[in-house]
Chain A
Amino acid sequence: MIVETGHYALVLALALALMQFAIPFAGARLNDTALMRVARPAAIVQFLFVALAYGVLTYAHVVSDFSLVNVIENSHSLKPFIYKISGVWGNHEGSMLLWVLVLSFCGALVALFSATMPDKLRADALSVQGLLGAAFLLFILLTSNPFARVDQPPWEGRDLNPILQDPGLAIHPPLLYLGYVGFSIVFSFAAAALIGGRIDAAWARFARPWTLFAWVALTLGIAMGSYWAYYTLGWGGFWFWDPVENASLMPWLAGTALLHSAAVMEKREALKVWTIFLAILAFSLSLLGTFLVRSGVLTSVHAFASDPERGVFILGILIFFIGGALALFAIRAGSLPTGGLFAPISREGALVVNNLLLSASCATVVIGTLYPLALEALTGEKISVGAPFFNTVLIPVALPLALLMPIGQMLPWKRGDLGAALSRLRVAFVVGLVGAAALGALYGTPFLSILFGGVAVYLVVGGVSDIVQRVTFRAASAGSVFARLRGVPLSAWGTSISHAGMGLTLLGLAATGWGVENILVMKPGDFYDVGPYRLGIESVDARQGPNYSEIYAVMAVRAGDRTLATIEPAKRNYPARRMQRSEAGIVTLGLGQVYAAIGESHPDGTIDARLYWKPFVTLIWFGALVMAFGGACSLADRRLRIGVARRAVALPEAAE
């Protein structure tokens, strides 16, 4: 009965989504306020119904209701509780339901926090959001019903794919979805602006906090996903340029560009057409990613098994929304008023260059992901483009982008003085050079690591220089330093913190060149050098977990004769799926990590092992956390806060 309730709730949600699309849209065309106002309650109730359906599916997983196909295929009665909950999104049907849950959640958020928005803009935006919801609800109900039953329930389920049984997977998919589905809000706003034909600074003021919100979630989601891959897959890497990873990187790059161009639009009324285009692009790339992951057109390391029927359906959704939005854009863009003037050397100018470089990076990732598919479709040749392709293109683009970030931050709006900005960055340049020299002396080649290490240091110092200089301008006294500290707007903190965070991540990435990797056949008692440390196995043993058995090695990490830590890399065996998985042994020493994974044990008592020393590796993810924190600071800025755009309503339309 409960399961049928969930199924029925989804059907009702579909009906509500259709209402949310049709009624406010008609209302906006007829100028009928009552019809337009249907949008808000419809969006909120639609979310409640999807949440109910989602809750029911979770309940079915928790109580191990093996009359559901979805539960049989992805759960097991002995599975730990947390994975019964996260297992709901560890499969195609459940993850699509989570997708729609997040989509309708975004719609409900807009409905709740849009009191200050003009009726028409809100009605059109929620209408587009409703249409998106309807399309995906239809997709779930027709091709991927999570509530499908079997006649004769088995006693036991097939268990969740063991690789997905990990706290990392319990957290990162919802964050990722919140990120890239979050861009649907900005997409709906852009479509609404194009439908209404009114695009001005006020639009950017409404859209920017939502962009920030999605961007923060996506940044966290990507970082956590990457850390999860790093410690569960046991190969010691954190990014594979796998199409599924690229699916989240593409909207991130477009979203980052959007974040910056929306600032220009809000502050200076410039780059309007471009900003709208990016808003469409960011979510289109999210849809493209969903299509790539869900359709089975590619066989990725992460892709769930899927069938062509779903692919065709999602392709239809993709073509309809992207095509529709772009067609609308093509029709309207020409008639949009052009924006404010600015000199090439100004904050706007720097942000234009930033957008160009980010767009080029985004295009690279899109082409690297789609080119193999296109080639296969056209010629039947199967190819792959991996890390070498992305490195060749992205490294030359990243360098000027990184150099520009602090400079742009120092330039004033409208007309800037490059000399003055550069002189404010003296300290950053010097520290960057010293940093590069120090890193080179300590770790040596490759040259690329030294170069980017130096740039990263410059980026961190340059990022915070702005705040430091604002506060200590003309050697202020202690009291006024504090007063000035409080006077710096949160959004300026946000910019500085995020840019510094990017610098930290860059340092972590640059340092991968200094990592050490050893693949060994080890005997207990023998010690091997791994970077500055020595590693050896103390014992190898077996033990039983809740739904797996494992062989684990106790390894000592030594510096000289002192034992710093013991780690326990393990090889787990999950009987329900007859699958094995590695559990890496990791210890953080300073900013770096010693990372060990074990392979097979041999009859002669030896065991295969991979040992790594990864200096600065934690900065890759810590930097991303700092970036997201910077985004959250900006989001907390009173002037940017969602729904607090009251002043904007009174602004004259499209002032030049």
Chain B
Amino acid sequence: MTRKGKRLTLIIGALAVLGLAAGLMLFALRDNIVFFYTPSELAQKQTAPGARLRIGGLVKEGSVVKNGKDVSFVVTDRTKDLDITYTGLLPDLFREGQGVVVDGQLQAGGKFRADSVLAKHDERYMPKDVADALKKQGVWQGEQK
């Protein structure tokens, strides 16, 4: 094969691999995207039950009810509340008033069934948009930087 021919083979081969990878990526992006909402955004969006979502907000004070492994609590952005149910262990940094992110599905009836609850490393952490919302309402308590 000539030098040109070889280069052509190489380029075609490379394009084929990259095309395949890009195709896989688009496919994966279409099926595996999880939208992130605050409770207020969720209320606006009128999302159908069953959708996989990620919800960020604060754990409402006094809302945590435990019953064995079953836990229910309310995530709030101080405008809207969302009832969450979860089965399993809560992370170490889970506290009332603390920022959390929950992954799961919206149930019929407006409750949210979480299959994972994340609290963040740093106690200063809070989902960015929740922090923004709190600052807007003047109830922000973190450091003003």
Contact = CB atoms under 8 A, between A and B. Distances in A.
Given A341-B3, A356-B17, A581 B24 contact: no
B43 interface: no
B17 A385 contact: no
B6 A381 contact: no
A383 B118 CA distance: 16
B24 A163 contact: no
User: Which of B35, B89, B118 has most chain A Cβ within 10 Å?
Assistant: B89
B139 interface: no
B21 A519 contact: no
A305 B27 contact: no
Contact of A307 (B92, B121, B145): B145
B92 A234 contact: yes
Contacts of B122: 161, 303-305
Contacts of A571: 92
B29 to A, nearest CB: 7
Contacts of B35: 381-383
Contact of A393 (B14, B25, B87, B92): B25
Interface stretch (A3-11, A363-371, A441-449, A496-504): A363-371
A519 B89 contact: yes
B69 A608 contact: yes
B135 interface: no
Given A357-B17, A382-B35, A382-B37, A393 B9 contact: no
A599 interface: yes
B88 interface: yes
Nearest to A397: B21
A533 interface: no
B34 A386 contact: yes
B68 interface: yes
B25 A382 contact: no
B97 to A, nearest CB: 11
Which size class do B's interface residues fall under? 35 or more
A487 interface: no
A384 B36 contact: yes
A608 B89 contact: yes
Contacts of A386: 32, 34
Nearest to A363: B21
Contact of A385 (B24, B34, B92, B129): B34
B24 A396 contact: yes
Contacts of B108: none
A521 interface: yes
A352 interface: yes
Contacts of A384: 33-34, 36, 54
Given A344-B6, A352-B10, A356-B18, A393 B88 contact: no
Interface string A495-524: 000000000000000000000000111000
B78 interface: no
A392 interface: yes
Given A301-B120, A610-B89, A356 B32 contact: no
A467 B83 CA distance: 61
A383 B51 CA distance: 13
Contacts of B123: 161, 577-579
Contacts, number: 117
Contact of B128 (A234, A299, A307, A344): A299
A428 to B, nearest CB: 24
Contacts of A629: none
A457 B1 CA distance: 37
B93 A579 contact: yes
A35 interface: no
A352 B14 CA distance: 9
Given A392-B28, A608-B69, A580 B93 contact: yes
A521 B69 CA distance: 7
Contact of A235 (B33, B37, B91, B129): B91
Contacts of A577: 123
Given A305-B122, A305-B125, A382-B129, A388 B32 contact: yes
Contacts of A357: 17
A393 B17 contact: no
Interface string A372-393: 0000000001111110111011
Contacts of B21: 360, 363-364, 393, 397
Contact of B28 (A161, A341, A388, A608): A388
B50 interface: no
A170 B140 CA distance: 34
A433 B3 CA distance: 39
B74 to A, nearest CB: 19
B49 interface: no
A52 interface: no
Contacts of B121: 161, 163, 301-302
B90 interface: yes
A392 B89 contact: no
Interface string B58-73: 0000000010110000
A219 interface: no
A519 B116 CA distance: 13
A504 to B, nearest CB: 26
Given A304-B122, A599-B90, A610-B89, A392 B27 contact: yes
B117 to A, nearest CB: 10
A248 interface: no
Contacts of B124: 305
Contacts of A396: 24
A582 interface: yes
Contacts of B91: 234-235
B127 interface: yes
Nearest to B37: A382
A163 B87 CA distance: 24
B118 A301 contact: yes
Given A299-B120, A353-B17, A382-B129, 19 more contacts: A234-B91, A302-B121, A303-B125, A341-B3, A344-B10, A360-B21, A363-B25, A364-B21, A367-B25, A384-B33, A385-B34, A388-B28, A388-B32, A389-B28, A520-B69, A521-B69, A579-B92, A599-B89, A609-B89
Interface of B: 3, 6, 9-10, 13-14, 17-18, 21, 24-25, 27-29, 31-37, 54, 66, 68-69, 87-93, 118, 120-125, 127-129, 143, 145
19 contacts: A161-B123, A235-B91, A305-B124, A305-B125, A341-B3, A344-B9, A364-B25, A371-B29, A382-B37, A383-B36, A384-B33, A385-B28, A385-B29, A388-B32, A389-B29, A389-B33, A521-B68, A571-B92, A600-B66
User: Closest 7 A-B residue pairs measured CB to CB?
Assistant: A382-B36, A392-B28, A360-B21, A388-B32, A599-B89, A389-B32, A580-B92
